[in-house]
Structure 1
């Protein structure tokens, strides 16, 4: 498989890793849109949320636990952050490996209005 996120998450390509455990890796985005822009990915390849078998959905909890640890470790948990997951072509997903954008470091504007 020629997946860039698999290679980054598993250390085949050097990256600025900020968090790693046996299931999840997180590294700084090479084109950040906020002062803090971290990509959080499972080490196992899943194309998107729709690709995860129901019996493997625990990986989503693992990702969210990692995000909480990263927010505390990087010092932005108290001020807040945004988590974005784009799912599929119409959802804006560009890399076919499920990933979460963890954005922080400045006040973020509201995306959806009431």
Structure 2
């Protein structure tokens, strides 16, 4: 699926929109969230545009695995591998997805309550 011209995450992946990048591979990019909800709040995106996690899983299951592997690497780099962290994919408006380019939130650095909301 091609990149979308009006997608801010496609712009970050292309390097035309600034971001604090913390991890990058050929297919995945991770950057700090501009409005963090935890001491560590990083977004992990595929560089290729997919509107949500379900669409990515159908179109390219290996890419979905690469996003999860990158999320693990981000958590480890931020020292969360021992204490724990949360991975969140919001899929669709009812789940509060606001940017329709699949992204995984890596959250950690504090105790996380359950249920989240």
TM-score exceeds 0.5: yes
Deviates more, 1:8-17 or 1:81-90: 8-17
Count of aligned residue pairs for this structure pair: 112
Distance 2:111 2:95 in 1: 24
Q: Would you say 1:89 and 2:89 are equivalent positions?
A: no
Unaligned runs of 5+ in 2: none
Question: Offset at 1:69?
Answer: 1.1
For 1:103 and 1:46, the matched residues in 2 are separated by: 22
In structure 1, the residue matched to 2:77 is: 73
**Is 2:57–2:64's contact at 8 Å kept on the other side of the alignment?**
no
Backbone CA RMSD of aligned residues: 1.4
User: Among 100, 104, 114, which residue is 1:110 paired with?
Assistant: 114
Question: Deviation digits for residues 53-108 of structure 1, max 9, x if unmatched?
Answer: 63511111001111111111111111100011000111211101000111001011
Q: Deviations over 1:12-32 (max 9, x none)?
A: 112100000001100000000
Task: Using structure 1 for the length normalisation, give the TM-score.
Answer: 0.91
TM-score, length basis structure 2: 0.89
In structure 1, what is the Cα distance between the partners aligned to 2:55 and 2:23? Answer: 24
- Paired with 1:61 and 1:103, the residues of 2 have a C-alpha distance of 18
Runs of 4+ in 1 over 4 A off after TM superposition: none
Partner of 1:23: 27
